[in-house]
Amino acid sequence: MKKILLPLFAIVVLLIVSFTPNTQEFQGQAIYLSKSTMELGNWGARMSEAQKKQIKARLKNRLEKTYTLNFNKEESVFNEEEKLDAISGATDSWGKNFARGEQYKNVKANELVQTQEFYGKKFLVKDGLQEFDWNMGSETKQIGQYMCFKASALVPTDELTWFDFSWGKLRRQQAQQNDSTATTPEIDMTQVVAWYTPQIPVSHGPAEYWGLPGLILEVNAGNTTMLCSKIIMNPKDNLKIVAPDKGKIVDKTEYQVTVLDKMKEMMENRGRRRSR
């Protein structure tokens, strides 16, 4: 990660905070609202507006989510609040297989510990934190009572969505492996824009995002926006900020290989049943 140059206002705020008593021992909780847009493409062009509306309502749980980030100076735990399906009243069991699990980050130790569940099997993914080469800007905006500064980074999309899989992605991967003339595919990149506040001097943020000189209150990446809607500093009850410890221990690469192998097996079995 490159050296970070702070705007003058951010430096002043950090100096004030650094001389405030007990800043090293605080805890905090931030609530984030996440919204994603869905592109229907050519498939959507053949649908009526009523059909599009019905599909978006059916997928509301996947497009709109609420998360909680509990943090202290060095550690954080990020969790999604479970919701009932908007149509059936059940939890989204299919989507759960490809959703981010409970996520623990330790910014001092550069440590990620994340729970993942795939078709009933629990994994404990242990790896380093995602690297961000942040470009610091002087642009500011107010989020709630906090003055925030803009930072941006360009990140390989697959590194931000390492826990997410799709049948389409698997088919494209297999096609590339079977095509001896295929060239090395171009790496898909995602532009990330983050807004952080030095008034809360921790390097935490929602999801994979971290590494700025203040809590990240808003992130825009691809078709998803995460916005902090509430912050509670030093709550009366101590927050539980510990790494999860249940599941088969793997790193990100091992987890991806395991899931893709299982998806290939399922695809092959489905093909055999159709050919009978």
Domain segments of the chain: what residues? 8-38+55-176+186-275
Residue-level pLDDT at 15: 47
Three-state DSSP class for residue 139? strand
Compare 126 and 56 and report the one with higher pLDDT.
126
Cα 257 from chain centroid (whole Å)? 20
Distances (CA, A) of 55 to 38, 86, 168, 188: 10, 11, 19, 27
Distance between CA atoms of 120 and 88, rounded to whole angstroms?
Answer: 21
Cβ neighbours of residue 5 closer than 8 Å, sequence gap 6 or more: 136
- Give the single-character DSSP code of 185: P
86, 53 contact by CB (below 8 A) = no
pLDDT, mean of residues 56-84: 85
- Grade residue 180 by pLDDT with cuts at 50, 70 and 90: low
Lowest average pLDDT, out of 34-38, 52-56, 211-215, goes to 52-56
Tokens of 57: 């309502």
Helix boundaries (H) for the chain:
8-18, 41-45, 49-58, 60-63, 93-96, 157-160, 167-178, 252-275
Give pTM, 2 decimals: 0.80
Residue-level pLDDT at 3: 46
Lowest average pLDDT, out of 63-77, 87-101, 244-258, goes to 87-101
- Grade residue 115 by pLDDT with cuts at 50, 70 and 90: very high
- Grade residue 91 by pLDDT with cuts at 50, 70 and 90: very low
pLDDT, mean of residues 80-86: 70
* CA proximity to 214, closest of 2, 1, 4, 3: 4
Distance between CA atoms of 223 and 130, rounded to whole angstroms?
Answer: 19
Residue-level pLDDT at 187: 87
Mean of all residue pLDDT scores within the chain:
82
- pLDDT of residue 22 exceeding 90: no
- pLDDT of residue 250 exceeding 80: yes
What percent of the chain clears pLDDT 90, i.e. is strictly above it?
Answer: 55
Which amino acid is residue 268, in one-letter code?
E
Residue-level pLDDT at 49: 73
